[in-house]
Amino acid sequence: MQCRFQREPTRYPIDSRIRNTPLSARAIIAACIAGSLLPDVDLLYFYLVDGGHTHHHKYVTHWPIAWGAVLALATLWTMANRRSRTALTLVLVAACALVHLAMDTVAGDIWWLAPFVDRPYVIFHVQPRFSPWWLNFVLHPSFLIELALSAWALALYGRRTARPPA
pLDDT digits (tens, 9 = 90+) for 98-151: 999 999 999 889 999 999 999 999 999 899 999 998 898 899 888 898 899 999
Residue 21 falls in which region: left (phi positive, over 0), alpha (psi -120 to 50) or beta: beta
Rounded mean pLDDT, 11-29:
76
pLDDT of amino acid 11: 59
Cα–Cα dist 166/161, whole Å: 12
Could you give the C-alpha distances from 97 to 24, 81, 127, 153, in angstroms and in order? 20, 23, 26, 18
Q: Which of 97, 105, 115 is nearest to 145 (CA)?
A: 105
What is the average pLDDT value for the chain, to the nearest integer? 88
Higher pLDDT, 103 or 163: 103
**In one letter, which amino acid is 36?**
S
Higher pLDDT, 81 or 16: 81
Q: Which of 69, 145, 148 is nearest to 104 (CA)?
A: 145
Three-state DSSP at 9 gives coil
**153, pLDDT greater than 70:** yes
pLDDT of amino acid 3: 47
Cα–Cα dist 51/108, whole Å: 19
Sign for the CA dihedral angle at 121, 126, 131, 135 comes to: negative
pLDDT of amino acid 25: 84
**Contact call for residues 84 and 77 (beta carbons, < 8 A):** yes
Report domain extents, the chain. Answer: 21-125, 127-159
**In one letter, which amino acid is 158?**
G
